[in-house]
Each structure stands twice: as structure tokens, then as C-alpha cells.
Structure 1
């Protein structure tokens, strides 16, 4: 209770100390401060607060109040907030004598109403997708489609490879991969790489440096790549998504603000661009933002942002965050919000005609997505309609792999996971499943008498790790009882679970919960009759 009171008091003091002194300034000074927030810093919420002080200031003349109201409307408009309409209407109704400001407000109102009408007229037709499964024998866990949709580029074994999506054996079986370039430290986890729309350049993440990450922009022709040292981007995988401008001359990425150390919750990432040939980094967003994507005409970047995480959630199936979809005009205008939704949006990409933006939707607390949402976009990219939603035939953990000229979306679908313990005669024969599914079994170990099999399993309902045993010919798993004040959790990889020659004990490598990094993992023996474990 004391902490709550201190927090509330601190909040009240911030409001008093942050706002009250402005009333000691004249309204013109406050107006100039608001302009600096809006145009100099790009801090629109703070700009709105200062403009509002001018509007409510008893010493401000009508002309200054009208200007402040006009800027309030423009700030809200840039934020994608319908409060812009209220501000413009208030200006028109309350300050009819300020003709210049009223004329601008009427024009903005007219455009906003037209945009709303355009969005209302966007008809989202039911999408009936035609799924075509392509088997890739090399089984890459990452990759992006070429702009023409005929090839797939992926990272594997320290190199970048390109393979024909439709091989010689069958259109549904990919062809033989050809190595494009060996890249030091190259990696990709989730289709983070980029392929320029002109088909000439591929960008990939390479090795880490003391102050960032090397990004290689590789000519598809096979000549020497450009190497860029990108500023630090933090620990989350999605921070490493790359996007190339259509001509391959500019690279977009998300990264930590200069001089900022990564926080526990990564709200400190922004969108940046840098010339591939080398040059200055330019900041393109001003709030927490990830996963940039160039529009096909190079006029815009789209990206996503997440709100503050709900750390108090009890249901682990629910997401930590909600999402906003943004667009940033590369002409220098302030980014504006296109859509907000529950759950997380992931990896936006554009259709080639710039009429749609497609994203994965993650409804839960993991990166498991089973839906692709397609937002219809207004011609000026200022608004979107309700998304069409496509249900996938399985789970996808990657970003979308691309949008082809044939209106095809590339999606990595993980095969259905099937985990169980099996036995098979050592001389050869048929395998027999001896444990039920849904326990995520690791480290099956025989008892010395050959009658039972012990293993590490995960209880999906309890969301906890246990040690189980089953009969050699199949049975309901029995939990191995461990009498300990702190739960033991075996380590993967390396847990062990071997049984002693007399069949009385098990040895495991495990840590104790709650986990203490200073303790790390230890070797433990556990009596199989339910006694106390020994370190």
C-alpha cells in the first residue's frame, strides 16, 4: 500500500511540476514550445498538451488560440486519432473570424470525411485461398521469395543459397539449391532477410561486432557485397528484420536508440534507414517500433509497434502485448497509425500494387500464428479498412516470405509435431509407441531390468516439467516423486536421466526453481522410491 501511495504522489507531482510553470509564461512562449515539440522533436502527444494550454490560456488572443487548435488537429491527424475532427470543428465553430485558420480546418475536415467514406466503402470480400504446398528437401527454416516468385533465398551452413521453387521432378518439389555467397556469421531465424524488388540485391544479417551487427547486401549477380555495420538492435529476433528499397539502394532496420542500453522490455527500438553504399543513419519512427517494410514505390515504410506488456497475466495463452500498424511517409512527414488490434501483428509486407498490407496475427503469448490478415489500403496510404482473415492449415513461426506478381503469399508452415517414446528391436523391426502424445519426451532411459523407461516430459495442462516412467510395452505415465522444497528441472540439452545399475536411483543435470543464475545447474541423484534428492 505504501508503494502505491508513493507512486500516485509522484504522478501528481509530475503533473503539477510539468504543467503549472507554463502558466507563468506568456501564451506566445508556450505556443513556441509546442511548435518545438511538434516540428523539432516530433513529440506529438507533448505538443498537443502545450497547444491545449494556449487554447485555455486567459491571456491568449483569438488568433493564437485558433492557430493552436489548428495544430492540435494536425497532431491528432498524424497520430491517426479521430480527435482531429473535434479540434477542427471546434476551430470552425468558435473562431469564425480567423478566416485563414478556419479555411485550412475546413479543408482538412473535408479530406478526413472523404477518407472515412473511402474506408467505409472498402468491401472486404471473403477470401477463399488456394493453398499450394511446396516440398523443400533441404528443409530450410528460413527464406524469402524472389520478386518474381520463382526462387527462394535462404541461409544455411555459413552461406546464402538460392533454389528454384519449382524443380525438375515436380512443380510441387523445389529444385537444387545453388550457393550465392559465403558470409561470415550469417544467420536467419524466421525469414528476416530481404530481397530488393528489382531482384538484384539480397540483404542478410552477419556476425556481431562490439558496437552492432554486420549486414551484407549481396548482388545476385555474384559480385562483392556491400558491408554495413548496423547499430545495436537488442536481443529479440524480430529486431533483426531487414528491408531493402525497391532499387536496393537503401536499407531499413529497427535498432536501439543511440547510447541507450537494452531494457527488460524493449520499448527503446526505432525504425532507421541507411544508404547501402554508406552514409548517415536516419531515424524514421519515434515510438517503440519493429519489423519495417518498404512499399513497392519506395514512398512509405510500414512497421508495427506493441503497447506496454501485461506482466500480471495469469493465462499464458494470452499475449503480452497488443499491436499497432503504422506507415511512415519517406517524404519526411510524421508517421501515422493505420490500425490497432488485440494480439501481435508480425512482419508486414506490401502487395505489388500497394493496395494491401499483409501481416501474421499472433493471438497468444507465443510466436505461433495460424492466421494471415490482409488490410485494404486507401490510395494515399493514410488509412486501412477491416482486414480479410485467412486461416492457415498449420502453425507458422516465420515472417511472411513474400508477395508475388501472381498475388501469391509465401508462408512457412510447420509440420504437425508428433512426439512420443518408441521401442524397436535392435535387430530391426517395427517401432511401437509406448508413451502417449503431449508430454514432449526427452532422454528415454531403460531401467536395468528392461521393464520400464524413464524420461523427461512436459505437462501441457500444468505447464510444468516432470520426470515420468512408462512400462516397456506401453502404459500410462507415472510421475517420479521428488521430495524437495525447490522443484528440480532437468537441463536441455544434457539432462541425463540415467538409472543406476541397481535400479534404485536416477542421475540428472538440473537446476532448482526459482532459478538463481549464481547456482546454475548441478548433478543430482534422485531415489526412485520417492526420497530426497542429493546434490
Structure 2
């Protein structure tokens, strides 16, 4: 009895100690965030220094928080012009050796203020997370990033030393306008930014704005251009390098005059291309392009800016893509999967020709999205580590509670599986597997674990798998090699893909969105959206291809989510407006609809989300983003209407779920523990020494 009592007391003591430790950690983080607000929100650096120092003094055991706090002491001192910044950075390096990322940043900042040049090759993360995304670029002096603030869609800049942010445009909230900035590039002198702007008229304009918050000016706008993208300024600051995708299907590499917006076409291509970069002397442009129509692999080429000469730079069976042209003018950085991982390579180009063979710089850097070189040769890039896994859970159909903790699907690869869907008999799941930026359909047996993969030469990528009612085929949204989306049916036995709804040929036609089977398997529900951003729900007969409109909405929105009831009589649809989401149902054959629930659209990460009917047809399940908790949760509402209920399933990212035919088991995708590398990274001191 004494032994049992002792064990109980020991367990109780451990619980108490754990609770105390958690409370301390939470309090440390809370104080750190308050100090961060004083620094970034109010610009009160002196007060922020005192608050950060309190965190360091009061919570020495919370090393991750204390190290960040001390780092920010240095950043505040640096902002105030005080030499104490150096001491703060030196303390971080000395006292927190196990906090590798914080130490790397402290060392880099210390080198800058002391004038030392670190000669060692290093890769470090500058910003953690996805707030500052891949659409922008690093400024020539390495002090700022341009980026899109997706809270409003405005163009903004981020100061690396302090974390301060500032808008360069002021369009207002999403409630007022759904226009937004997209790709942006700095002028050579760092005083202006050229950027793409999506307008209410569904045009992509090229605009320029100064860092002095002067009024943006429109440099280029053309209704015949479906899409355009800004890639960079010429070194003399007189031209913008861009791509234009026209309604007739032409893809053009162009130079646009800063003075008058005049366009000069350098090359027209049928296949895809990307990552255009000027050479530092302005004589050449490097870019990568698709090797052939039915292949994701790319090669790299150099085009003279007079349009008269093209030189192959990298020709290899692997997928090679451009990262950037180094400021030394001789070295071109690119990524390649030729060693079965995404590695960084460098190749020399000088005197108008390729010099030697590529040299490996760093292995396994991830799927890098280039953000440019600084004048000193540091290369910045963005990693979106959206690692997802598939999990199973048992759901009590009466209470909506999770009975057992979720269990992860045992599969060949981890961190690359999403959008699971149970087969009609519950013996299989279909899902999308992602590898090196490309996606494919897979089917896995839940009895044997055997996996069937369905690669397709017709499609470069696929999403949104939906089993047919008889389980013999799967409907997917698929993009052809020219980037146009169609709806395909994949036979689960032969793997043969059949086009069910073809892509739009011209911009004047409607484009395809979401899709869903009817319960008799003879037709499909489709979302179609048009150039003016109005959208319709259509019922398409598979045999003859005829379509009938069930619902139309003129207002600008983010689209619909669709789901047909188990008895085939009702269609649930979620109207995702700019201001609010509305869950409604209507007869599957068409007719009057009724609204079940309205809620605020707190998050735009909605593309892969879906509606789900319970197998008894009593409830509709939907996802909802909770801004307070900053996570997604699964909810349900009776199809007859009434109170909505939160279920015990939450995730940091979107939840894509499917219910087993038994009505109790649920499969869903959620963030993987391996997805921890998102953010902006910098690669330093990698150029050949004789060239620096």
C-alpha cells in the first residue's frame, strides 16, 4: 500500500511540475509578445528593451524565448544607434549556443555592425513562417523584403533588422475591394518597386510605386492579356522584364519601357517558362522552360536582350530551374533534382559562352522560390514547407466527439499526402500525393496497404479526387501542360484518363472550378466562373456533354463548395463571399434554395476545403477558421436547419475530410510534423572565391 501511495504521490508531483513549467513557458512567451508589440507596433524601442531584458532575467530556463528576447534587445539598440547592440548579440552567441537559428541571426547582425565579413558558407533562415511570402523580393542593399500583405492584398515592405512593416498601397479591406498586389521587384537604386496588380475588371496591370509612398502609376495594362508577371528591372533602370500570356494562347517574354510603357517582344513560346533574370550588364536574360509538352522537367537557356541570339545553358534529363544571376556577372545559380533531391548548383557564363560544368553548392535545399540577390552576393529564397499527412479517427455520430486519438496512415512517404477520400465500399482511400511540386492520384487498400499510383501524361497536376458512386472511376480536376484546367475521369482498374469537361480555350469562355458526382453517376455538378468573376453551378450530363444552370451569382466571390446528399435529392453548396460565407441547400435537380448558416470569412485558405454529408443524410459538415485560436475546426449543422455544432477535430491548416460508409470513421489531412522549414532563407558566401 505504501509503495502504491508513493507512486501516486510521485506521479502527482510530476504533474504539478509539468503544469508549473508550462505556465512559466506561457508567461515568458506572453511577456515576449508584449515587448514585441512595443517594438514593432509602437516603435517604443527604449521601453521594449526593458521588457525584453525582463524576459531574459525572469525566465533563464526558457531558452528559446530568452534567446529571442536578447536578440531583439540588440535589434532595438541598433535601431536607436547604440553600441550596446554589439554586446547583446555577443551574449546571444555565447549564452545560447543550442538556439541555432537565433545564434545565426545574431552572428550575421554582429558581422554587419562590426564591419566583419564572414567568409564561411552558410544557409540560415531569416524569417520563420509564411507571413512574408514568395511573391516579393529582397532589396538591393539587403535591408528589406517586398511582399503582399494578404490581410488586405496591399503591397508592403518588411524591414529585416527590426521586423517593421509598412504598406506602399492602401486599397482598403477585402470588404471594400478584392483587388490585390502580386509579384514585385525592386529598382536597381532601391527607391521604387514594380509590381503586378489584379484589378476589379480582372486585369493584371504592371504598376510602379516609390518608397516615399507616392501615388502608384500604371505602366502597362491590356485587356487582351490574360495574365502578366513582373520579373525584374534592367540594370540601367529603363526597362521592366516581364511575361505576357495572351488570350490567343501566346506566351511572350517582353521588355516594357519605364518611360512610356512601350512593349518589345523578345520571344514567343508555346510551352511554359519562368524565373526570368537579367544579367548584371543587361546584355542577356536567363530563364528556364519546359522541355516538352507532356513533361514537368525544365532546361535553362540564355537569350540576348536584342533578341538575336539564344544559348543553351543547362540541358539535362532532370528538372533544372533558374534561381538567379549573381552580381559578379559570371555565375548563374540554379536548382536541379538530378541527384534525386532538390540541390543548388552554380555554372559560369562569361564572354558569351558557358564556361565548364555545373558545380554543386548545397544539397537538399528544398523547393526554393527565388527572391533575388543582394549587391553583396547573398541569395534569398522562400520555402513553403506545406507538409501534410493523412489521419484516421472515430467519430461518435450522435455527439460529434472523437472517440480515439487520430492515427496516421502508414504510407511509403510522409509529409506529401492530402485530400483523402473513402471509396464507396470503405475498403480504399484515394488521395493526392505531391512530389517536387507535382501531384498525382494514388489509391491505397486499407486491408493490405497496397498502393496504386496513377501518373498521367495528360495532366501536369491534379486535385480534388471524387469516387464515382459505383467505385469504378475517380473524378479529378486536372491541369494540362499549358496550365489549363479540365475535369477528368480516371478508371481505377486501367488508369486510363478521360476528359469529361474540357478546359476553356479563350478568356471569354468560363473556367472550371469545383466538381461533384450526382448519385446516379450519370452527371456531375460543376462550378463555372467567368471573366467578370460571376459564377454558376451547372449540371453536366456525362454522356452527351450538355449542361444546365442550377444557380448563378453575379457578385464577386471566392467561389463555391459542392456536395450531393446520400439520397441524391439535395445539393449543399457553400457560397464563399468576400464579406461572409453562406451554407445553403437546394434540390439536386435545381429549384429554390434555402440558407442554413452564415459566418464571417476570416481566412482565405479555402481552396481544398469541402462539404461533407453524414451517411444518414441528417447533417452537413463544413470547415471554419477560428481567428481567436488561429486554427481550422470541423463543424456540423442539421440539413433541416438549426444550431450548428463544433466537432472535436481541429488543425493548424485546412481540414480535408471524408466519412466512411459506416458513418463513424473519418479520414482527414492535417499538417505533418516534418513541415517545419517554411520561411525566407539566405545563402551566403558561396560564390567562387576568385570571383568575389
Q: Normalising by structure 2, what TM-score?
A: 0.41
State yes or no: 1:134 paired with 2:126: yes
**Once the 2 structures are TM-superposed, how far is the Cα of residue 187 of structure 1 from its aligned partner?**
4.3
Structure 1 pair 376–146 and aligned structure 2 pair: CA distance change class (3 A): same
Structure 1 residue aligned with 2:335: 360
Relative to structure 1, is the Cα distance of residues 336 and 149 closer, same or farther in structure 2, using a 3 angstrom cutoff? same
Match of residue 285 from structure 2? 302
Cα separation, 1, equivalents of 2:433 and 2:327: 45
What is residue 163 of structure 1 aligned with on the other side?
158
Equivalents in 2 of 1:232, 1:308: separation in Å?
30
Q: Quick one: distance in 1 between partners of 2:427 and 2:338?
A: 37
1:194 and 1:242 in contact (8 A); partners too: yes
Q: For 1:424 and 1:407, how far apart are their aligned partners in 2?
A: 53
Report the structure number with the largest CA radius of gyration: 1
Work out the CA distance in 2 between the residues paired with 1:181 and 1:412. Answer: 23
Query: Hey, what does 1:389 align to over in structure 2?
Result: 360
1:115-514 → structure 2 map (5 Å cutoff): 129-137=121-129, 139-142=131-134, 143-157=136-150, 158-167=153-162, 175-182=163-170, 185-188=179-182, 192-207=183-198, 213-231=204-222, 240-256=229-245, 261-262=248-249, 268-285=250-267, 290-297=274-281, 299-304=282-287, 306=289, 309=292, 311=294, 319-329=295-305, 332=306, 334-342=308-316, 343-361=318-336, 370-378=342-350, 380-398=351-369, 400-415=370-385, 417-421=387-391, 432-436=406-410, 438=413, 440-442=417-419, 457-458=431-432, 463-466=440-443, 484=470, 486-489=472-475, 512-513=489-490, 514=498
SS of residue paired to 2:140 = coil
Displacement after TM superposition at 1:395 (Å): 2.1
Higher strand residue share: 2
CA contact (8 A) 1:336 1:382 kept: no
Task: Report the CA distance shift for 1:322/1:151 in structure 2 as closer, same or farther (over 3 A).
Answer: closer
CA drift at 1:181: 1.4
Once the two structures are superposed, residues 147-170 of structure 1 have per-residue CA deviations (whole angstroms, 9 ceiling, x without a partner) of 111221111321112112244xxx
Contact kept? 2:388, 2:418, Cα under 8 Å: no
Residues 291, 299 of structure 2: 8 Å contact kept = no
Please give the alpha-carbon distance, in whole angstroms, between the structure 1 residues aligned to 2:159 and 2:145: 6
How far residue 453 of structure 1 moved from its aligned partner, in angstroms, is 12
Cα offset, 1:386, TM superposition: 2.1
- Shift of residue 198, structure 1, vs aligned partner: 0.9
Gaps of 5+ in 1: 1-126, 168-174, 263-267, 312-318, 493-509, 531-535
Confirm or deny: 8 A CA contact 2:226 2:245 kept in the other structure: no
2:187–2:237 contact (8 Å) kept in structure 1: yes
What TM-score do the two structures reach when normalised by structure 1? 0.52
Change (3 A) 1:384 1:206: farther
Distance in 2 (alpha carbons) for counterparts of 1:384 and 1:420: 47
Summarize deviations over 1:93-125 as a string: whole Å, max 9, x none.
xxxxxxxxxxxxxxxxxxxxxxxxxxxxxxxxx
- Give how far 1:394 is off: 4.2
Greater per-residue helix proportion: 1
Asked if 2 retains the 8 angstrom alpha-carbon contact of 1:466 and 1:489, the reply is: no
Aligned-partner Cα distance in 1 for 2:382–2:419:
26
Aligned residues: 344
Which structure has more relative contact order (CA 8 Å, sep 6+)? It is 2
Residues 457, 468 of structure 1: 8 Å contact kept: no
> CA 1:240–1:385 in 2, change beyond 3 Å: closer, same or farther?
farther
Deviation at residue 488 of structure 1 after TM alignment? 2.8
User: 1:336-363: CA deviations, max 9, x gaps?
Assistant: 3151312444345322232222233366
Deviations 1:176-221 (A, max 9, x none): 4222213673343xxx421122101112211269896311111122
Maintained 8 Å contact 1:206/1:214 = yes
Q: 1:422 to 1:516 in 2, by over 3 A?
A: closer
CA shift, 1:326, in A, is 0.8
Using a 3 Å threshold, how does the CA distance of structure 1 residues 347 and 181 change in structure 2: closer, same or farther?
farther
Q: Distance in 2 between matches of 1:233 and 1:350?
A: 31
